[in-house]
Copies of this chain bind each other. A is one copy, B any other.
Amino acid sequence: MPLIDSLAREGQTRIVLAIADGLGGLPRRGKTELESAATPNLDRLAARSSLGLAVPVEPGVTPGSGPAHLALFGYDPLEYQVGRGVLEALGIGLEVGPRDLCCRANFATLGPDGLVSDRRAGRISTELCAKLCARLQDVVRAITGAEVIVAPGKEHRFVVVFRSDGLDEAVAETDPQHTGAAPASPTALRPEAAKSAALVAEFVRLSVSALAQEKNANCVLLRGFAKVPKIPTMNERFRLKPACIAAYPMYRGLARLVGMDLVECGAEWKDELDALGQRAAGYDFVYIHFKETDRAGEDGDFDAKVELIERFDEEVVPALERVKPDVLCITGDHSTPALMAGHSWHPVPVLLASAYGRGPAQAGGFTERACNQGSLGRFYSRQLMGLLLAHAMRLAKFGA
């Protein structure tokens, strides 16, 4: 058992962990997005907080959202890996459980020679994708031995979930990964996966038959077979009653994987903050997620990210303070520098406000630079939970 788990105890204190997705950045003309933004509320808060930098996985490693979030929730991202199929299912809002085998799927085009001529079926519209998924959902009711869920994504993408006992994720993907090749067989990669492989093969057979008349989308390619990993809940590990407030399905899904209650809320920041104000009292750990900062970074839009940080400062920070958490932590799951237009490996600024911090090294607001000098130092994201619990007086002493 990890040390933190063995020391965790119940308490009356409340922790709020607020994630501005993709928060960390890189300098443009000498200043990062955080340094460029006018953030009077964060600066005021930083002056009474402890700062630090969190390394999401290890130096140089850029995380996806799954490992980045699991680390923040206190889970070693190398020990608990969530497969691609499961993340895709979570991302479109499917509820997944321990009996489910999930996979990503594409509609694709098969030529008259039986070879894949377009792995994305000409990027069919999202509307057509939904229509075809409904057709497949109808057809696959004929499959015995498992419930099969077919759920549309964007354009040519969809998700298939096989729900039954005894399923195993070691099934070979059917996507040949390049055109001019035939779809591969969903072979069982170990004996335990025989049942799964047979189900997948039957799914493919029924689908191709049902799609025969389609011009582009006359075939399906499946990959990323994954089951939900066995993950002990945050309650079991940390004795917390945790809740998630997140507008986006993937983050709700990740929170559910570690046993958080999902608080209903609308899609806007205001909706999430309203939910926080109304529901925080019922929980002693609240994770609240704001997506848009990451999106601006992914778009490579430095100015938009700066504006979103300023909006975060104006709208979000005061609302977080209003619920008076004993420990308030504001950070990102990873950096998404506009300069790189994508996730990066750079350590993420962390602000931790509590009655028991050493405080800032010097007045410098909440920036990557100030966090690099901060009293929390540099630590791995998976170690954050220990710091949060400690500042919330929820860890017993180790040893006598």
Instruction: Verify if A361 is at the interface (C-beta below 8 Å from B).
Output: yes
Taken residue by residue from 4 to 30, chain A's Cβ proximity to chain B (1 for < 8 Å, 0 otherwise) reads as 100100000000000000000011001
Q: Are B400 and A3 in contact (CB under 8 A)?
A: no
Report the bound CA distance from A361 to B361 in whole Å: 14
Contact with A4, one of B26, B61, B359, B377 (Cβ below 8 angstroms): B61
A30 contacts across to B, CB distance below 8 A: 359
Which listed segment binds B: A173-181, A198-206, A344-352? A344-352
Which listed segment binds B: A259-267, A279-287, A307-315, A381-389? A381-389
Contact with A358, one of B77, B81, B87, B368 (Cβ below 8 angstroms): B368
Q: Are A58 and B386 in contact (CB under 8 A)?
A: yes
Instruction: Verify if A66 is at the interface (C-beta below 8 Å from B).
Output: yes
Instruction: Verify if A64 is at the interface (C-beta below 8 Å from B).
Output: yes
Which listed segment binds B: A92-100, A149-157, A294-302, A390-398? A390-398
Instruction: Verify if A59 is at the interface (C-beta below 8 Å from B).
Output: yes
Q: Are B63 and A399 in contact (CB under 8 A)?
A: yes
Report the bound CA distance from A344 to B390 in whole Å: 9
Smallest Cβ distance from A234 to chain B, in angstroms?
Answer: 15
Q: Are A3 and B383 in contact (CB under 8 A)?
A: no
Report the bound CA distance from A383 to B337 in whole Å: 22
Within residues 65 to 98 of chain A, which ones have a CB less than 8 A from any CB in chain B? Answer: 65-68, 77-78, 81-82, 84, 87-88
Contact with A346, one of B4, B32, B358, B399 (Cβ below 8 angstroms): B358
Instruction: Verify if A379 is at the interface (C-beta below 8 Å from B).
Output: yes
Instruction: Verify if A373 is at the interface (C-beta below 8 Å from B).
Output: yes
Instruction: Verify if A372 is at the interface (C-beta below 8 Å from B).
Output: yes
Q: Are B400 and A358 in contact (CB under 8 A)?
A: no
What is A's interface to B at a CB cutoff of 8 Å? 3-4, 7, 26-27, 30, 32, 53, 57-68, 77-78, 81-82, 84, 87-88, 337, 339-340, 343-347, 356-359, 361, 368-369, 372-373, 375-379, 383, 385-391, 395, 397-400
12 residue pairs of the A-B complex, CB under 8 angstroms, read: A3-B57, A4-B60, A59-B379, A62-B395, A64-B399, A65-B399, A65-B400, A66-B400, A67-B399, A68-B399, A82-B400, A343-B397
